[in-house]
Structure 1
Amino acid sequence: MAGEFTAQMSMRAGRWRLYVVLLNTTERWPEHSFDRTHPVPTFTERAEALSVLGFEPVPGASWEWTEDRENLDDPASPVILIAAVRVRSWTGVGA
């Protein structure tokens, strides 16, 4: 799997989860669950989870947070926070 992808982190079913979006494929998206609600996973925890999944942030990329709603038609719907970063397949040290 070569190229760049988007990794996203959001809360689902009371747990933070990180996943790599693989478009135009039938492959299962790589996913890691942090198995907790609080605190929000740190930068280091996110980097380690990406590494376990075989990815690393693209050099110079930074995490960006966006706000969404559970129900897009209801402005009073609870807010969902989504973090995203560009990633690439992990190259390893010295590669």
Structure 2
Amino acid sequence: MSKQIFGAQMSLRCCGTTSAATAGGSRWQLYVAMSGLVSEWPTFTWPPTAEIPTLEERARALADLGFTLAEGVEWEWTEHAGPDYHPHPARVLMLCSAKVRPLEGGGA
């Protein structure tokens, strides 16, 4: 089993995404923070929706990226105010994060 542990984070992106994605509304995005440029991090973006991706949808997205939750880990939610630089009023943001590890034989 791989001993590498990375941090995955999921958030509802209202003003674009960290990867090239078309406009068309708010969308949930999951990425795995690694070394190197943010633009090179493994990223999964759901179609526009405000519905929170289910645990199963998150697991499939992680697997598509070559990762799975680390042993005994659950997703954790945190809340904070949106950044001041957005072109709309600041609002509360929900972030979901978890420790992940590469899948055995995965491409990550």
TM range (shorter): 0.7 to 0.9
Please provide the CA RMSD for this pair: 2.1
Listed as ranges, the matches of 1:51-90 within 5 Å are 51-71=63-83, 77-90=90-103
Secondary structure in structure 1 of the residue aligned to 2:99? strand
Structure 1 runs (4+) deviating above 2 angstroms are none
Q: Deviations over 1:18-58 (max 9, x none)?
A: 000113x2371100011122321000000000000000000
Runs of 5+ in structure 1 lacking a partner?
none
Unmatched tracts of structure 2, length 5 or more: 15-25
TM-score, with length taken from structure 1: 0.82
Count residues in correspondence: 88
TM-score normalized with structure 2 length: 0.73
Distance between the aligned counterparts of 2:50 and 2:90, measured in 1?
21
Q: Quick check: 1:11 aligned with 2:12?
A: yes
